Amino acid sequence: EVQLLESGGGVVQPGGSLRLSCAASGFTFSNYAMTWVRQVPGEGLEWVSAVSSSGDSTYYADSVKGRFTISRDNSQNMVYLQMNSLRAEDTALYYCAKGYVTMIDSWGQGTLVTVSS
């Protein structure tokens, strides 16, 4: 069974940083691209970033480009999202997800990030 467990969310001041982590299990992690999607409670889904299976290629939404960095460690089955220069509009539930391009076929339960002074 695929499991994705996010951690690292919390409350941070505007301009601050957070690093989200996602521990993956139940599948051959190094074979799959991984994605981060966020959702403001009560609102829609927003694609944030993706990383290729090898980690060599990364992709970002315009809204986070230059501020967020996605990475992965295939030896530890982990994917990360380093978030810098955080803004109030980055407040959301952040989902770690398996897949990219054709579909996301598994999702974690999310970790909540709140940017507030």
Check binding of 55 to other proteins (CB under 8 A). Answer: no
Check binding of 23 to other proteins (CB under 8 A). Answer: no
How many Å from the N-terminal Cα to the C-terminal Cα in the chain? 40
Output the furthest CA–CA distance in the chain (Å, rounded).
41
Check binding of 103 to other proteins (CB under 8 A). Answer: yes
- Sequence-separated (6 or more) residues with CB below 8 Å from residue 97: 4, 34, 35, 36, 37, 104, 106, 107, 108
According to CB under 8 A, which one of 8, 16, 21, 47 is a site residue for other proteins? 47
Check binding of 94 to other proteins (CB under 8 A). Answer: no
Phi and psi torsions of 103, nearest 5°: -170, 160
Residue whose CB is less far from other proteins, 12 or 50 = 50
The stretch near other proteins (CB under 8 A) out of 8-16, 17-25, 38-46, 69-77 is: 38-46
